[in-house]
Amino acid sequence: MSSPIIFLLIVIPCAATATVFAILILVRVGRLGYHRTGWPARDFRLYAVYWREAPKRGWSRWPLIGAAAFFLAVVATFLMSAFWVVQ
């Protein structure tokens, strides 16, 4: 990316939105009796639990889909800023 401002205008809102969705997911799964242990690999299992339990509880799967999409947007922006040189 040619400007750090553009980079920050894309990354900060996407990262914040992905974090909000992740917190929402982890709070809902925590109410079911599953709690975070501090290991990131366990969090991925909690996302799988959310995917499985969401329809049973009447929850939407959109927070999980949104968290993944915004996280991928952040990663793509980082990669573009590192490897894409505008001439």
**pLDDT surpassing 80 at residue 39:** no
What would you report as the CA-atom Rg of the chain, rounded to the nearest whole angstrom?
16
By CB atoms closer than 10 A (0-12, 13-18, 19+), residue 21 is: buried
**pLDDT surpassing 70 at residue 18:** yes
Place 43 in a pLDDT band, splitting at 50, 70 and 90: confident
Place 15 in a pLDDT band, splitting at 50, 70 and 90: very high
> Comparing 3-7, 27-31, 37-41, 48-52, which segment has the lowest mean pLDDT?
37-41
The answer to whether 31 touches 59, Cβ cutoff 8 Å, is no
Residue-range domain boundaries for the chain: 4-82
**pLDDT surpassing 60 at residue 37:** yes
Question: Structure pTM?
Answer: 0.81
Torsion-angle region of residue 43: left (phi > 0), alpha (psi -120 to 50) or beta?
alpha
